[in-house]
Amino acid sequence: MSDNFFDELCRKALACGADRAAVVPVEKVETDASFRKLCESNVCGNYGKNWRCPPCAGDIDDLIAELRSYRYMLVYQSIGRLEDSYDFEGMMAAGERHSTLTKAFIQITEGDRRLGRHVNLGAGGCRICPTCAKKDDLPCRHPDKAITSLEAYGVNVSRLAAAAGMKYINGQNTVTYFSGLLFDGTEECHA
């Protein structure tokens, strides 16, 4: 796999608005099945209310096994500025911006055959639709575009940040979101 292809993927993520991007081998991505308990506590309100959040997203052990079947993960982060640590609206706005950049990144990379087998992972529940169809117990409207979160795959995001040479927390009055792209790459990527 060519480093140039990795660099190209990183540049594309940055061009979409990410603050940092890096490719790591999947062996460096730490996962923990016990994270599913955090989702079950439903602090975010998405548990059972979003097709790409637990429990609908799938069994945690199956998702971790799927993750381990890929070779690489592109990790990218965006840092949102907050007025203060209680700036809930600022957090929501930063989450929306991150979702928008994730969708833009997916759009500009989706047809790239050099990725080979791949899957995109986002931050939190899928935000392709303003309101997930699961809330009305209707089928997913865009199963081909829906994005599962890193957390649903049991990814330890703070350890992922370290593995990718990034900070998980980027200073007072900031909020940081992460997305990922799992991929195998093809022979076409070799220099």
Residue 132 engages ligand SF4 in binding (rule: CB under 6 A): yes
Centre a 10 Å sphere on the Cβ of residue 83 and count the other Cβ atoms it contains.
Answer: 9
Q: Which one among 29, 146, 157, 161 touches ligand SF4, defined by CB under 6 A?
A: 146
Interaction between residue 141 and ligand SF4 (CB under 6 A): yes
CB atoms within 10 A of CB 123: 22
| C-beta closer to ligand SF4: residue 68 or 135 | 135
The verdict on 44 binding ligand SF4 (CB under 6 A) reads no
Q: Which helix (H) or strand (E) holds 151?
A: none
Among residues 5, 35, 51, 70, which is the contact residue for ligand SF4, using CB under 6 A? 51
In the bound state with ligand SF4, the residue whose beta carbon lies nearer, of 50 and 109, is: 50
Euclidean distance between CA atoms 132 and 109, whole angstroms: 24
Question: Position 50: which residue type?
Answer: N
Q: How far is the CB of 148 from ligand SF4 (least distance, A)?
A: 9
Least Cα distance to 78 among 183, 164, 174, 182 occurs for: 174
Backbone angles phi, psi at 13, to 5 degrees: -65, -40
The residues that touch ligand SF4, with contacts defined as CB under 6 A, are: 50-52, 126, 128-129, 132-134, 140-142, 145-146
